[in-house]
Amino acid sequence: MQTRRGRNIPTPDLPTLEALRQLERKILWLSTWTIHNANHLRPSRDGLKVGGHQSSSASVSTLMTALYLHTLKPEDRVAVKPHASPVFHAIQYLLGRLDRSYLTTLRAFGGLQSYPSRTKDPDEVDFSTGSVGLGAAAPLFAAATRRYVDAHFGGRPRSRFVALVGDAELDEGNIWEAIADPATAGLGDVLWIVDVNRQSLDRVVPGVRIAQWQQQFTAAGWHVTEAKYGRRLQAAFGRPGGAALRDWIDAMPNEQYQSLFGAAPEEVAGQFCDGAPGEVTRLCAGLPPGELAGLVTDLAGHDFETLLDVFAACDAERDRPSVVFAYTVKGWGLPIAGHPRNHSALLTPGQVDRLRAESGLTPATEWDRLDPATAAGQWARGRAEHLARPPAAPAPVAAVPASSGLRAGSSTSTQEAFGRILVQLSRLPEVAPYLVTAAPDVATSTNLAGFINRMGVFSPRARRAWSPDPVLKWAEGPEGQHIELGISEMNLFLLLGQLGLAGDLSGQPLLPVGTVYDPFVLRGLDAFIYSVYSGARFIVAGTPSGVTLAPEGGAHQSTITASVGLELPNVTFAEPAYAVALDWLLCGALQSVAAAGPGAAARPAGSYYFRLTTRGIDQQPFQAARDRLGDEVLRGQVLAGAYRLVDPPAAGSGPPVCLAASGAVLPEVLAAAAELADEGIAATVVDVTSADRLYRAWQTAMRQGVRTATGPAAPAALRTVFPGGAGARVPVVTVHDAASHTLSWLGSALGVPAVSLGVDSFGQSGAVADLYRANDLDSGSIVNAALAALSLL
Ligand SMILES: Cc1ncc(C[n+]2csc(CCOP(=O)(O)OP(=O)(O)O)c2C)c(N)n1
Ligand SMILES: [Mg+2]
């Protein structure tokens, strides 16, 4: 091994470089061929274009070869830009980690996913990607999670957290939110590689803002570097006229430069020199046409020596993240290289035939791995052995009790109870070490202060508190267990997602709990979806919520978030009204989250979303239900999604009606039940603690019936709690401080008339009573709704 540039960076020897070039060629072929196969050879059953991105894949084929076939270690974790998934799978195949049969299943049902998926792909994907920007930021938060895990559970072998990022991904705001937050500062294990092909989906980007982006990374404390000019261009810059050549390339409009890639060799000089200074024109005139075309498009993103050198330099930066701007060609090595609209372009069968032949393959050998007898084949085998990950070591996990032992006062809100439950849990040695909270600048206003007082705020280094606060002890240091973020809900959900994958990516399961003002769940929704799609397990409390946070007005009042919680896969949504019900649900959720990590596949998947409120309500009705049902039965029903808060009066006391409600509106519902009793109507009150679980139980029963062509039975969660059955039809009124639609399905589920009350317009400032009246959530409106429901029978 030699070393270069005065640093102790090993230079790969020539045989290694040659092996890498052969592997790169193979990877380019296999990714192109896999996409071609899906589109042209696999029979189409619906006439739809299958798609796949040959150009986007080709543009990172050198970068990914350099990473996987040279630079990565088994501990490293990589996010691959979405449109390069065929390259990833080709590499996994060459490394012997993916069966060949999968290569003909790209974008087919049960096959290789269009974009890398942790949960759906058959090979080991470290980070899902697809929604541009999010997959890029995920490794940053995974590295922040590793830093936290190392600080609390002891250091583990170093992992580098790598992201391969499309240049147009940098247009996404979440990228800049992620790098700006102090919680991601100083993460020396992070490497982002930007694939600077100067093209997005629609176009050649006219003014690529590389310099501006580089300054933004620098300002955020990153180590910024480039792999821009290939070796031939670098050599040409050193010859007479070279400086002018370099200036001319740097100043050239992007569209002009990109036009060179699709141009015939004899056209290149004319296009390249259009408007050039005489010195450049003369230099070009001295070169044969073929050579000029190769020279001026010689970019370092396709040059192994430069790339390996730059990667090694980044690796040496241990106290700040690194970003490499790697200049590439979209469609590199393909006849569609650099074409402005090549994003979704596919090679024709004739072009693929030529590529196969140029790659030294025939139809008999087109799927083959490299011959193990060759140097490149042996190199690939050596890398496969090197990258094999040892089985995960067992890690300690939390043992969460069924209840924190919270004693509810006479009147309390769910938000207040939530803060107190976390404090209770932080006193338990079998739970406390694993709890980690996070909030985007709303920790104190969402009642995390008690937890923070006890557990402190996480900072890699102890920070001095300059203004001690007698009420809130904001002590920052490596032992702290609250991660404070700036106001970015995207960052909150990305961080929760990675904290929720700590068992997989850092070998230590955690109990992540985030808080956010409920309306702003929507601000982080794509990251929320991203994280749960990735298989993360965490808890988020959206609080306060609904029009119940009355004076705060329409901009802060959430109405559609309950629907989001109900409809999101892998998320269990709960909206309890009473403190003890919240305690049981939260502890149950933590028990399930605690089971994350290796071997946890059998546990219920997913994350938990609690929609809470600051409205203090009388806890006595819940105590009465406890006394009536006993804790064991009541807890089972609360966890299943609903229980009877008020039984109907004795039989014969009038026509029956059911009032089913969630959350803060229960006092109005109870008042309505009392008014109805006065009018001779027998109202049962059902508190729906988790509309999500109830809905799922109903749907599971229905789907079972659909799939087995049998009449479905009502699920126990509905049968035992709601009145009716045996031919009796009890109409239902649903009441919710959320879109009326959220609970309206109960009518169908119960097979009875339903009137649904909820908030179906934007909110406004006022007192709770004003807003409830304006939205028909007051007791008088609920009584009228019950009469209306009875009239529908
Ligand atoms: C959030 C989001 N918006 C839009 C898209 C659709 N889309 C897919 S790729 C792409 C352009 C990406 O360009 P770039 O990141 O430069 O990738 P490359 O040039 O490597 O294909 C767009 C707009 C998406 N996947 N995600
Ligand atoms: Mg691009």
Is the CB of 330 inside a 6 Å radius of any atom of ligand 1? yes
Token reading at 418: 């939530």
Is the CB of 164 inside a 6 Å radius of any atom of ligand 1? no
Nearest CA to ligand 1 atom 9: 201
Is the CB of 76 inside a 6 Å radius of any atom of ligand 1? no
Q: Which candidate, 615, 416, 419, 446, places its Cα nearest to that of 517?
A: 446
Is the CB of 167 inside a 6 Å radius of any atom of ligand 1? yes
C-alpha angle with apex 743: 739 to 749, nearest 5 degrees?
Answer: 155
DSSP collapsed to 3 states, 239-304: CCCHHHHHHHHHHCCHHHHHHHHHCCHHHHHHHHHCCCCHHHHHHHHCCCHHHHHHHHCCEHHHCH
Task: Kindly list the averaged pLDDT for each block of 10 residues, start to end, along the chain of length 793.
Answer: 45 88 98 98 93 97 98 98 98 98 98 97 98 97 98 96 97 98 97 95 84 97 97 92 94 90 88 93 87 92 96 96 97 93 95 97 97 95 96 92 93 98 98 98 96 97 87 92 98 98 96 98 98 97 96 94 97 98 98 71 75 98 97 97 92 85 98 95 97 96 94 89 86 98 96 97 96 98 98 94
Between the CA of 330 and the centroid of ligand 2 the distance, in Å, is 7
Between the CA of 270 and the centroid of ligand 1 the distance, in Å, is 32
Question: Which residue is listed with tokens 């809470």?
Answer: 612
Query: Contact, 249 vs 315, CB < 8 A?
Result: no
Alpha-carbon radius of gyration of the chain: 31
Which atom in ligand 1 lies closest to the alpha carbon of residue 60?
A: 20
Q: What are phi and psi of 4, to 5 degrees?
A: -125, 160
Q: What are phi and psi of 721, to 5 degrees?
A: -100, -40
Candidate of 80, 83, 325 to mutate for ligand 1, largest count of ligand atoms within 8 Å of Cβ: 83
pTM: 0.96
Which atom in ligand 1 lies closest to the alpha carbon of residue 195?
A: 20
Is the CB of 734 inside a 6 Å radius of any atom of ligand 1? no
Which atom in ligand 1 lies closest to the alpha carbon of residue 330?
A: 19
Sequence-distant (≥ 6) Cβ neighbours of residue 262 within 8 angstroms = 336, 337, 338, 339
Which residues face 730 on adjacent strands? none
| Dist CA 329 CA 262 (whole Å) | 11
Sequence-distant (≥ 6) Cβ neighbours of residue 66 within 8 angstroms = 20, 304, 307, 308, 311
| Dist CA 410 CA 537 (whole Å) | 33
Q: What are phi and psi of 435, to 5 degrees?
A: -70, 135
Give how far Cα 627 sits from Cα of 490, 623, 634, 787, Å.
43, 6, 10, 30
Candidate of 200, 258, 329 to mutate for ligand 1, largest count of ligand atoms within 8 Å of Cβ: 200
Number of H helices, E strands in the chain: 32, 22
| Dist CA 64 CA 60 (whole Å) | 6
Between the CA of 110 and the centroid of ligand 1 the distance, in Å, is 24
Around Cβ 393, how many Cβ atoms within 10 Å? 9
Which atom in ligand 1 lies closest to the alpha carbon of residue 132?
A: 26
Between the CA of 208 and the centroid of ligand 2 the distance, in Å, is 10
| Dist CA 287 CA 232 (whole Å) | 13
Candidate of 201, 210, 261 to mutate for ligand 1, largest count of ligand atoms within 8 Å of Cβ: 201
Is the CB of 83 inside a 6 Å radius of any atom of ligand 1? yes
| Cα 681 versus chain centre, distance | 49
Pairing of strands 223-227, 322-327: parallel
For residue 466, what pLDDT is reported?
84
The 3-state DSSP class for residue 724 equals coil
Is the CB of 344 inside a 6 Å radius of any atom of ligand 1? no
| Dist CA 153 CA 131 (whole Å) | 32
For residue 598, what pLDDT is reported?
47
The 3-state DSSP class for residue 332 equals coil
The per-residue pLDDT for range 266-307, each reduced to its tens digit, is 899 999 999 999 999 999 988 887 899 999 999 999 999 999
Is the CB of 689 inside a 6 Å radius of any atom of ligand 1? no
Q: What are phi and psi of 79, to 5 degrees?
A: -100, 120
Between the CA of 107 and the centroid of ligand 2 the distance, in Å, is 22
The 3-state DSSP class for residue 161 equals strand
Is the CB of 416 inside a 6 Å radius of any atom of ligand 1? no
